Structure 1
Amino acid sequence: MAEQKNAPVRGSARGTAPVPLSVLDLAAVGEGYTAREALNTSVRLARLAESRGFHRYWVAEHHSMPGISSSSPAVILAHLAAHTERIRLGSGGVMLPNHAPLVVAEQFGTLEALAPGRVDLGLGRAPGTDGATAAALRRTDKPAAAGDAFGGEVEELIRFLDNDFPDGHPYQRIHAIPGPVQGPTERPQVWLLGSSGFSARLAAEWGLPFAFAHHFSAQNTLPALDLYRTAFRPSATLAEPYAVIGVFAFAAEDPETARREALTGALATVRLRSGRPGLIPTAEEAAAHAFSAQEQGALGSWLDNALYGTADEVRAGLDELQKRTGADELMLAMNSHGTEARVRSYQLIADAYALPGGDAGPR
């Protein structure tokens, strides 16, 4: 396994937040909105996150889902790089089985050239879609890479990023451009993403930072983090484990409004898991929906793992989650209908933590 050659960028607490806060964006598209509006909202959110002291802004890769416009993270990140100056930008993540490692190395080498020193490359081993779409993406019926196959693809990608294939390797004379063959350069910080123990162990063995999807696999959070920390082997660039957890968090001026917006994302997720993906429903549609017994189970699981309410209530939930898990960073997401409500949610959470840039300034 090739070692990372650039030092990892670690966060530092801002305001009164116990750990750095970051954003995971799905470029959600609600009923009555367009993809263009959703992507414009992503720009607004990235600029807001930067101005309020959030640490990272990541974009997730999903496919064939009408309610999510983030099918091409590298394209969106290039656009966000042109509208921001300091915040770290990254993929949360690139689903590596869908892509040739050389293509990913070229895309993120290009991003690093555009936004030097602030690009994260989060890698996942799931396809981020259904089986038929995954086959269409790969132009083959081969299943998504698992086990050693995924590990080999990650190693190949890192070697392209570092330009360090060993003598005699068939790719020795192939170079990812832009890249180090053109001269000294930083390169994207590589992360592994996961929702189980598999990627946790792999990240630990390779000494990589790890991002865990608590927002849809909460039952596995503590076991995966324990495994990651216990098995961690220091690498040339990461002396100790560093774990981020993703969590759904939505704040509004009152609990009722927060729950109404959260329910739109919950209904969209229930439909997705039952094979009926669509646009994010309106709050009125979500409130009127008659959930079946099976849907009630999925709804309860989703709502139990989401944090929603007033800003102070969300902050209390985030603080408790961080204390319980020992996470080094919290990454906040919310797949909801209203774009203005989503922007307002991040403003309220930033205010609750007295992050810089608020109307009243730091407390």
Structure 2
Amino acid sequence: MTDSLPSIDPAHLSARLLEWYARDGRTLPWRAPMGQLNDPYKVWLSEIMLQQTTVRAVIPYFEGFLARWPTVVDLAQAPLDDVLTAWAGLGYYARARNLHACAQTIAQWREGRFPETEAELLELPGVGAYTAAAIVAIAFGKRAVVMDGNIERVMARLFAETDPLPGVKKTLRARAETMTPTHSFGDHAQALMDLGASLCTPRSPACGLCPWRDPCRGRRQGIAESLPAKAPKKEKPTRLGIAFWVERPDGAILLRRRPESGLLGGMMEVPSTPWREDPWTLEEARAEAPLTANWTPLSEGIRHTFTHFHLELSVARARVSTRDQARGLWVKPADFHAHALPTVMRKIIKLALRSKMM
């Protein structure tokens, strides 16, 4: 049915897209000027950071990493704790661990040189199909089909693909393959990303400004804003737990490191019970506390949302003497910034410090 609509000429549309990109493309700190190849380190670093994260959030982190570790070898030589601390607040912390592991692999086994093929890049820690294709196209100027969420949306609307995600992904990739030109691979990929991010947005797309508005089948059928269709999402479960805020007379707070594998692996945390769907009583939670103490529950808790579940944590406070022993690290609040504390833990810290002042 869709093929009976106006024809789509890839070469013509690619030329129009690049004209639009030259005029209206975004200026971003990890991009080279149009027509130039980019540093693969900058492409890789930005693409890892941009996974599941907005451009606005990533820019200060990217600039901070680049100022501190200007090459992949510099990043490889950095202690993992420093990398995790610099990453704190950006979320999805497995990316930071993989980032460091990948940098070490490139520095140790490839003398600081990035692979130039998708197959070799896919062997690196944390590098998936999208990131590999982006590096090949943008940094090395080779043909690659780059597919992110923006490009999927553009393809779904251009060709009026009404089957829902994720099942339609292969079809959208095939459509993007037909639209990939024989030249300007990096500019084409970045132009498509920008088209989706600035005009072909999830809601209220600016079709009147789009260089592909005339042949766009989704626009012609009046269904562009509804595409790509998505299968109904399952409701996220809520997990519950109790965090233990332990303070010494000198003001130091007990922190501990989470296991290297799993959620927030290797990050620092305020000790807590396991997170589960059944509520905890304070009496039951004492067995999970980092030490024996007189625990007092705070009147408030915190809520945080991860990819697959919501988390609600109550907070119990205790004051202990310097003689009390517990596994972990005693840190004064003024020094929290030097430790890799994820956002959920910073919420607990903010709540506990605020309640202390009241």
TM-score class, shorter-chain normalisation, is under 0.3
Provide TM-score, normalisation by structure 1: 0.22
Provide TM-score, normalisation by structure 2: 0.22
Report which structure shows greater RCO (CA 8 Å, sep ≥6). 1
Q: Between Structure 1 and Structure 2, whose CA radius of gyration is higher?
A: 2
